[in-house]
Amino acid sequence: MAVYLDNNATTSMSSDVLDAMMPFLTDRYQNVSSAAGEVSGLRRALSQARTRVATLLDVADSAECVFTSGATEANNWAIEGTARNGNGVGHVVTTAIEHPSVLESVRRLEQESGWSVSVVKPDYSGVITVEDILKVIRPETKLVSVMLVNNETGILQPVGAISRAVKAIAPTTTFHTDATQALGKIGVSLSGELETVDLLSLSAHKFHGPKGVGVLVVRAGTNIAPLLVGGGQESGRRSGTTNMPGVVGCGAAAIAARLWESHRGPVQAMRDRFEEILTSQFPSVLIFGRDQDRLPNTSCFALPGCDGNSIADRLALENIWVGTGSACSAGALRPPHSLLAMGIPYSTASAALRVSLSRYSSNSDIDQLINALSIIACNATTATRREVGR
Ligand code: PMP
């Protein structure tokens, strides 16, 4: 049996989700947009899934939740859709710790459409501050995109405070947050703390739903052009035949994600126990974000002198799954960019590993990881890494 400790990369689909999806993968395969979509109940199933997602996010009007193929599409759409909303070329603000689906989309605007871009770095503790965002806001700033939780470190970002501060000085600026890593792990409320957020992305496979389905929440009054045009599905905002199994699975996963509070304690206790054993066995270990507000399920750490990728590869041979956060570019591996942005030295960031738990994780998984690490870690040196781009 695999020891799966890489839940920020993806999660297992829960049996409830699979049960909810099954009819739509078999007998109920018809197109929801067909004439019979209404009488067959398909349209009701679609609207029920949308309401479930809206309820998870405290959104009163479920029509604001638009289904996409995942968070990559939702992030690309938030950025490109705002850029193409008819208000001309402008300035966009984002952060150095965003997922590549935000960073590369912003780079494309800069290179191909002449937008100016400000990429704000976190402080040494991994947090993007309100002050650093406000410093770069200009009269022509049309979009600000700051993630709610970083996928590599699990560190929470003060998005509510940042969006309120941005709106106070630039009320017409669109504010986007990538909340992909937050759902099912912490509370996310677009009627509470995140009330001033205009656009929010999420992805079902990060909270025990299926892959290939996500949502962009578009709050009423937000000016955003569609990215995908054609059949006019999703009220003309996102064309393409509706992925009914995916959408229904996303809705079912949203019901369970609302129970995040009941999983928080046990998951955090497992993570904290892991970190205690880790520090006692490897006194030189560095744990990133340990003193910060961070996800209860995530531990990002480095064993100095070791190479994160070679340790992960050797653990994989034992069927133990952990994350390295490395991006593969032209066949060469780079350490997690969020750690580099925090000012962590390249050699330390190269040693980073990420353990991310779910409600299905157990202390026995952690014990197996610790045992394997004790054998492997001392033999994995930095010699195997090809350093690039430095
Ligand atoms: N944003 C964040 C923060 C993520 O962690 C991920 C997935 N790694 C994505 C966006 C992309 O999500 P998807 O797999 O649904 O395209």
Q: How many other C-beta atoms are found inside a 10 Å radius of the C-beta of residue 161?
A: 14
Nearest to 352 by CA among 389, 321, 324, 327: 324
The finding on whether 151 has its CB within 6 A of some atom of ligand 1 is yes
Per-residue pLDDT tens over the stretch 50-75: 999 999 999 999 999 999 999 999 99
- In this prediction, residues 212-232 reach a mean pLDDT of 98
Give exposure, 94-106, as e/b (b: 16+ Cβ within 10 Å): bbebbbebbbebb
| Confidence (pLDDT) at 385 | 42
Dist CA 380 CA 390 (whole Å) = 22
Distance 67 CA to ligand 1 centre (A): 15
- In this prediction, residues 117-132 reach a mean pLDDT of 97
Phi/psi for 171 (5° steps) reads -60, -25
Distance 180 CA to ligand 1 centre (A): 6
The finding on whether 295 has its CB within 6 A of some atom of ligand 1 is no
Q: Which residue(s) pair with 298 in the sheet?
A: 356
| Confidence (pLDDT) at 389 | 29
What mean pLDDT value characterizes the chain? 94
Which residue bears the tokens 């209404």? 38
The H or E element that residue 40 is part of is none
Hey, whose CA ends up nearest to atom 10 of ligand 1? 71
Phi/psi for 334 (5° steps) reads -115, 145
The finding on whether 94 has its CB within 6 A of some atom of ligand 1 is no
**pLDDT bracket for residue 324 (50, 70, 90):** confident
Which value, to the nearest 10 degrees, does the dihedral of the CA atoms of residues 274, 277, 280, 286 take? -10
Look at residue 331 and tell me whether its pLDDT is greater than 60: no
Helices H / strands E in the chain, number of each: 12, 14
pTM score, whole prediction:
0.95
**pLDDT bracket for residue 384 (50, 70, 90):** very low
Give me the helices (H) in 177-296, please.
Answer: 244-257, 260-281
| Confidence (pLDDT) at 377 | 78
The H or E element that residue 367 is part of is helix 363-376
Look at residue 205 and tell me whether its pLDDT is greater than 50: yes
3-state secondary structure 73-105: HHHHHHHHHHHCCCCCCCEEEEECCCCHHHHHH
Atom of ligand 1 nearest to the CA of 147: 3
Asked if 33 and 43 touch (Cβ cutoff 8 Å), the reply is no
Per-residue pLDDT tens over the stretch 80-110: 999 999 899 999 999 999 999 999 999 999 9
The finding on whether 72 has its CB within 6 A of some atom of ligand 1 is yes
The finding on whether 105 has its CB within 6 A of some atom of ligand 1 is no
Hey, whose CA ends up nearest to atom 7 of ligand 1? 9
Enzyme catalytic residues: 328
Per-residue pLDDT tens over the stretch 348-382: 999 999 999 999 999 999 999 999 999 987 565 44
Q: Strands (DSSP E) along 153-276, which ranges? A: 174-178, 199-203, 214-218
| Confidence (pLDDT) at 335 | 87
| Confidence (pLDDT) at 297 | 98
User: In testing the pocket of ligand 1, which one of 69, 72, 188, 207 has its CB within 8 Å of the most ligand atoms?
Assistant: 72
Q: Which residue(s) pair with 299 in the sheet?
A: 355
The finding on whether 176 has its CB within 6 A of some atom of ligand 1 is no
Hey, whose CA ends up nearest to atom 8 of ligand 1? 9
User: In testing the pocket of ligand 1, which one of 11, 99, 157, 201 has its CB within 8 Å of the most ligand atoms?
Assistant: 99
The finding on whether 101 has its CB within 6 A of some atom of ligand 1 is yes
Phi/psi for 287 (5° steps) reads -110, 120
User: In testing the pocket of ligand 1, which one of 180, 186, 202, 208 has its CB within 8 Å of the most ligand atoms?
Assistant: 180
- In this prediction, residues 228-246 reach a mean pLDDT of 98
- What percent of the chain is predicted at pLDDT more than 70? 95
The finding on whether 243 has its CB within 6 A of some atom of ligand 1 is no
Give me the helices (H) in 174-243, please.
Answer: none
| Confidence (pLDDT) at 106 | 98
The finding on whether 98 has its CB within 6 A of some atom of ligand 1 is no
Hey, whose CA ends up nearest to atom 5 of ligand 1? 151
Q: Strands (DSSP E) along 25-79, which ranges? A: 65-68
- Strands 65-68 vs 214-218: parallel, antiparallel or unpaired: antiparallel
- What percent of the chain is predicted at pLDDT more than 90? 91
- Where is pLDDT greater, at 353 or 384? 353
Q: Which two tokens mark 230? A: 């054609």
